[in-house]
C-alpha cells in the first residue's frame, strides 16, 4: 500500500512540473488518502500484535 502512495506522489510531482494542476492535485489527494489508510492499518496491526502476546 505504501508503494501506491509513492507512485501517486511521483505522478503528482511530474504532473506539477509539466503544468497539469488538476491532475497533480488529484494524484496528491489520492496519495494522502492511501497514506493515511496505510498508517491506520499499520497501527491496528501493531496493537493486534501487542494484544496477542
CA distance 23 to 47: 36
53: confidence class by pLDDT, cuts 50, 70, 90: low
- Write out pLDDT tens, residues 5-52: 888 888 888 888 888 888 888 888 888 898 899 999 999 999 998 998
Pick the closest to residue 4 from 42, 46, 41, 33 (CA basis): 33
Looking at the structure of the chain, the number of domains it has is 1
| Domain housing 32 | 2-52
Q: Taking the model in full, what pTM does it have?
A: 0.70
pLDDT for residue 2 is more than 80: no
Check: CB of residue 32 under 8 Å from CB of residue 9. Answer: no
Amino acid at each position: 500500500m505504501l508503494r501506491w502512495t509513492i507512485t501517486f506522489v511521483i505522478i503528482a510531482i511530474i504532473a506539477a512540473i509539466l503544468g497539469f494542476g488538476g491532475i497533480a492535485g488529484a494524484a496528491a489527494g489520492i496519495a494522502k488518502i492511501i497514506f493515511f489508510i496505510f498508517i491506520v492499518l499499520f497501527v491496528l496491526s501493531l496493537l493486534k500484535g501487542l494484544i496477542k502476546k
